[in-house]
């Protein structure tokens, strides 16, 4: 059995932070951030956690699908910035929305939502789920070094969710990729206080990112992954109605647009007002596109993401 997405939802905290706000305490400018990244504002939490955002995005998605939380068979959430290692984001959402089903998290950094979607696809294929909720949620502001201008200006907080229902058709093709290593992107956890453990590094528990290496990786894998899923589904780029990529950097999207020869109006971008929300980025963008009313039944939508791990993923959905 396959699945279709029958509801989408998203949520971001209300506190809006502009580039000028950041320039008050960082050596940066609205001009630099707008030109080099494409972000103008992002939301930054003043109290809510990733699981709080996730539950609100989930409620919105359930409302759209008309499904009762009690009828869900599965919840999978993707996050790397949860306030708790345990309970999981998915487990907290399960309790908050009143569901009664297995719930667990996956972590594949910014590609996490697509890894979670593919994990859920396995449950549909085995017939062990008929209704599922897949979420990407990040309070990435928690793991930013707010004195590092090369990362602090890029990211934002939020969550996106999708309700999946069993269907003959819907998830047409997918690809997942991991290139293990910690030299380009890493986010260390604390080492703890064990008197026996002697850490090799004194890394702080914040995002380290080599921006230029990430940029090169992103453009390469995005173009490769798009071609892989098009080949698997026996489709051409022109068959795709909308391309919803990870909202990392507008310049990366412009490179992909040229390399893949995608019409610019087919690429959905909202990073200008969200920033890079890591695992939440693709489902938040998908929800914004869906709520714009431009997605019609039968449309082909291509999702693509890349990020820490290093990781990347893509899939094609028939709406
Ligand atoms: N404001 C002003 N100047 C800055 C800033 C800033 N916020 N950040 C860096 N600079 C400076 C640098 O210090 C450098 O100055 P120098 O020439 O005097 O040394 C100059 O700007 C150019 O720096 P670059 O690193 O070459 O800037 P670049 O154009 O590559 O932009 C950026 C940096 C935005 C990080 C870009 O490389 C990028 O977007 N990379 C991809 C990031 C990404 O996609 N991440 C997603 C995955 S994250 C995850 O998975 C958790």
3-class secondary structure per residue, the chain: CEEEEEEEEEECCCCEEEHHHHHCCCCCCHHHHHHHCCCCEEECCCCCCHHHHHHHHHHHHHHHHCCCHHHCCEEEEECCCCCCCCCCHHHHHHHHHCCCCCEEEECCHHHHHHHHHHHHHHHHHHCCCCEEEEEEEECHHHHCCCCCHHHHCCECCEEEEEEEEEECCCEEEEEEEECCCCCCEECCCCCCCCCCCCCCCCCCCCCEECHHHHHHHHHHHHHHHHHHHHHHCCCCHHHCCEEEECCCCHHHHHHHHHHHCCCHHHECCCHHHHCECHHHHHHHHHHHHHHCCCCCCCCEEEEEEEECCCEEEEEEEEC
Residue whose CA lies nearest to ligand 1 atom number 34: 37
Contact 174, 305 (CB under 8 A): no
Predicted local distance difference test score (pLDDT) of residue 192: 86
The one catalytic residue among 110, 249, 290, 315: 110
Predicted local distance difference test score (pLDDT) of residue 121: 98
Contact 168, 21 (CB under 8 A): no
Nearest CA-CA partner of 192 in 183, 182, 205: 205
Dihedral sign, CA of 264, 38, 48, 135?
Answer: positive
- Is 185 a pocket residue for ligand 1 (Cβ < 6 Å)? yes
- Is ipTM > 0.90 here? yes
Residue whose CA lies nearest to ligand 1 atom number 50: 307
Predicted local distance difference test score (pLDDT) of residue 202: 75
Distance of CA 197 to the CA centre of its chain: 34
To the query of whether residue 110 is one of the catalytic residues in this protein, the response is yes
- Is 275 a pocket residue for ligand 1 (Cβ < 6 Å)? no
- CA-to-CA distance for 280 and 296, rounded, in angstroms? 23
Place of tokens 């907080």: 157
Dihedral sign, CA of 82, 58, 265, 271?
Answer: negative
Nearest CA-CA partner of 286 in 313, 237, 319, 253: 319
To the query of whether residue 246 is one of the catalytic residues in this protein, the response is yes
End-to-end CA distance of the chain: 16
Predicted local distance difference test score (pLDDT) of residue 190: 85
- CA 264 to ligand 1 centroid distance, Å: 24
Per-residue pLDDT of the chain (319 residues; tens, 9 = 90+): 999 999 999 999 999 999 999 999 999 999 999 999 999 999 999 999 999 999 999 999 999 999 999 999 999 999 999 999 999 999 999 999 999 999 999 999 999 999 999 999 999 999 999 999 999 999 999 999 999 999 999 999 999 999 999 999 999 999 999 999 999 999 998 888 899 998 887 778 999 999 999 999 999 999 999 999 999 999 999 999 999 999 999 999 999 999 999 999 999 999 999 999 999 999 999 999 999 999 999 999 999 999 999 999 999 999 9
Residue whose CA lies nearest to ligand 1 atom number 11: 150
Predicted local distance difference test score (pLDDT) of residue 193: 87
Predicted local distance difference test score (pLDDT) of residue 191: 85
- CA-to-CA distance for 104 and 102, rounded, in angstroms? 7
* pTM reported for the whole predicted model: 0.96
Contact 151, 107 (CB under 8 A): no
- CA 186 to ligand 1 centroid distance, Å: 16
To the query of whether residue 191 is one of the catalytic residues in this protein, the response is no
Sequence-separated (6 or more) residues with CB below 8 Å from residue 156: 12, 39, 42, 43, 44, 140, 141, 274, 275, 276, 277
């Amino acid at each position: 059995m396959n699945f279709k997405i029958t509801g989408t939802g998203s949520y971001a905290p209300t506190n809006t932070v502009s580039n000028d706000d950041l320039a008050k305490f960082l050596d940066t400018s609205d001009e630099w951030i707008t030109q080099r990244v494409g972000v103008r504002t992002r939301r930054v939490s003043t109290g809510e956690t990733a699981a709080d955002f996730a539950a609100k995005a989930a409620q919105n998605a359930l409302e759209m699908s008309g499904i009762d939380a009690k009828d869900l068979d599965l919840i999978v959430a993707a996050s790397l910035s949860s306030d708790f290692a345990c309970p999981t984001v998915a487990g907290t959402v399960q309790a908050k929305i009143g569901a009664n089903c297995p719930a667990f998290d996956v972590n594949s950094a910014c590609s996490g939502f697509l890894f979670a979607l593919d994990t859920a696809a396995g449950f549909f294929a085995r017939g062990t789920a008929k209704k599922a909720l897949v979420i990407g949620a990040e309070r990435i502001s928690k793991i930013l070094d707010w004195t590092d201008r090369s990362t602090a200006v890029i990211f934002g907080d939020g969550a996106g969710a999708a309700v999946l229902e069993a269907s003959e058709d819907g998830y047409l093709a997918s690809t997942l990729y991991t290139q293990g290593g910690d030299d380009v992107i890493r986010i260390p956890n604390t080492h703890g206080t064990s008197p026996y453990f002697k850490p090799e590094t004194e890394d702080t528990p914040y995002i380290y990112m080599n921006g230029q290496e990430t940029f090169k990786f992103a453009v390469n894998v995005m173009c490769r992954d798009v071609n892989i899923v098009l080949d698997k589904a026996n489709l051409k780029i022109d068959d795709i109605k909308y391309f919803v990529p990870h909202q990392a950097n507008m310049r990366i999207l412009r490179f992909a647009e040229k390399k893949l020869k995608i019409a610019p109006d087919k690429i959905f971008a909202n990073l200008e007002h969200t920033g890079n929300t890591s695992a939440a980025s693709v489902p938040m963008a998908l929800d914004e596109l869906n709520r714009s009313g431009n997605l019609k039944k039968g449309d082909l939508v291509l999702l693509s993401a890349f990020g820490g791990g290093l990781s990347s993923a893509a899939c094609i959905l028939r709406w």
